[in-house]
Amino acid sequence: MASSLKIWVIVLTLICILCRLFMHREDVSWREFMKQHHLSPSRKFDEYKCNVLMREQEALKGKSSHVFIYVSEYKIGSICINGNWRERYRNTYVWLQNALKVLRCHQENDNSGYIESRSFNYVEFHCGTDGHVDSIEDLKMVELISD
């Protein structure tokens, strides 16, 4: 009797550990998305520069192009919420109904820096299996933002 109880305790402990690892893995994709694509509205949009952004982030070094979105973290967090606040879209694509400010960075032909393109875009996001945004899938430009 005591040995079967020990086995159940071990099995339940392993299940709890696996659940924590799974939840942490999903949280990493959300944090990684935010670190790579999010521009905080706490600074003015025109203060963000591609050469600095692409150099600051280790994951972006060497990439020839990248997209950043200028939006509050709260708004990104609510994209995958389905109707009531307890349900989330999972493993699906969601178009945001309002246009966002987007900064696109493209490497110059001579690799000396990045060319910036600023615009308002409708953005399609992917909601991962954890119910949080994990990637940008598509952009539809509405209007260029002139300097």
- Would the pLDDT of 100 be above 60? yes
Q: What is the pLDDT of residue 109?
A: 86
Q: Could you tell me the pTM of the whole model?
A: 0.77
- Would the pLDDT of 129 be above 90? no
Selected residue with higher pLDDT from 50 and 2 = 50
Q: Region 33-58: what's the mean pLDDT? A: 91
Question: Where are the chain's structural domains?
Answer: 2-144
Q: Region 29-52: what's the mean pLDDT? A: 91
Lowest-confidence region among 1-5, 93-97, 111-115: 1-5
CB 79 within 8 A of CB 96: yes
Give the class (CATH, top level) of 2-144. Answer: alpha beta
* Beta carbons within 10 angstroms of residue 114's beta carbon: 22
- Counting every residue written for the chain, the total comes to 147
Computed over every residue of the chain, the mean pLDDT equals 84
* Beta carbons within 10 angstroms of residue 144's beta carbon: 9
